[in-house]
């Protein structure tokens, strides 16, 4: 109730000082015209500010997207090296060892041993494909210890395969030499 009393007393005090005259003719039209001009200016200002801001935002978005999309991904070897530097060094060592063994096999190639060598090379390609799958599993976050052990086993299998092929080639050569020796006598 005190609020009503306060409002009534306020208007009571202002009773003689309030302007009760009607506005001049066309006042409303002039007022609307002024509001329209101000609204036009502010909307133009907004449009003028939005255009450069939207262009700048678009350019920033395109630059950011190009940095992420056009950035070359790290190779599988680099990713493996970042996860386990020891595994990377070991794989380089074994890869060099396998490459040397393959060169030795190629040097021992003859018509009798060529099918054996070709079969060994196909098996090496399969082992290489298996190794690449292991690398991707390691990068994707699988059980690191098991995958690293499987990678080492893969290289050991390759080396064992190459050694077995080398032994078979030596047996073929010895057999050929023995046959040649018996034929000569």
37-48 confidence digits (pLDDT tens): 766 555 555 556
The pLDDT, as a whole number, for residue 185 is 52
Phi/psi of residue 18, nearest 5 degrees:
-75, 140
What pLDDT, on a 0 to 100 scale, did the predictor assign at position 83?
67
Question: For the chain, how far is it from start to end, CA to CA, in angstroms?
Answer: 139
Residues of the chain short of pLDDT 50, as ranges, are: none
Q: Which pLDDT does position 153 carry in this prediction?
A: 92
Q: Using alpha carbons only, what angle is made at residue 140 by residues 138 and 142, rounded to the nearest 5 degrees?
A: 55
Residues 43, 131: Cα–Cα separation, whole Å: 64
**Domain residue spans in the chain?**
26-71, 76-175
Place of tokens 């000569």: 184
The pLDDT, as a whole number, for residue 164 is: 93
Residue 38 φ/ψ region, left for φ over 0, alpha for ψ in the -120 to 50 degree band, beta for the rest: alpha
pLDDT of residue 129: 92
The region that residue 142 occupies, defined by phi over 0 for left and psi between -120 and 50 for alpha, beta otherwise, is beta
Sign of the CA dihedral 60, 63, 67, 68?
Answer: positive
């Amino acid at each position: 109730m005190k609020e009503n009393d306060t409002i009534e007393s306020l208007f009571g005090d202002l009773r003689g000082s309030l302007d009760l005259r009607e506005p001049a003719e066309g006042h409303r039209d002039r007022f609307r015209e002024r509001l329209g001009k101000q609204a036009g200016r502010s909307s133009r200002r907004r449009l003028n500010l939005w255009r450069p801001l939207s262009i700048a935002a678009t350019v920033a978005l395109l630059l950011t997207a190009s940095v992420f999309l056009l950035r070359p991904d790290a190779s599988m070897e680099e990713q493996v090296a970042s996860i386990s530097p020891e595994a990377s060094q070991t794989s380089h060592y074994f890869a060099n060892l396998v490459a040397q063994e393959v060169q030795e096999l190629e040097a021992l190639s003859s018509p009798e041993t060529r099918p054996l060598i070709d079969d060994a090379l196909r098996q090496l390609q399969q082992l290489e494909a298996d190794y690449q799958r292991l690398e991707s599993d390691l990068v994707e976050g699988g059980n690191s210890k098991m995958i690293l052990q499987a990678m080492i086993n893969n290289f050991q299998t390759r080396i064992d395969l190459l050694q077995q092929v080398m032994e078979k080639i030596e047996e073929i050569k010895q057999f050929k030499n023995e046959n040649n020796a018996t034929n000569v006598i």
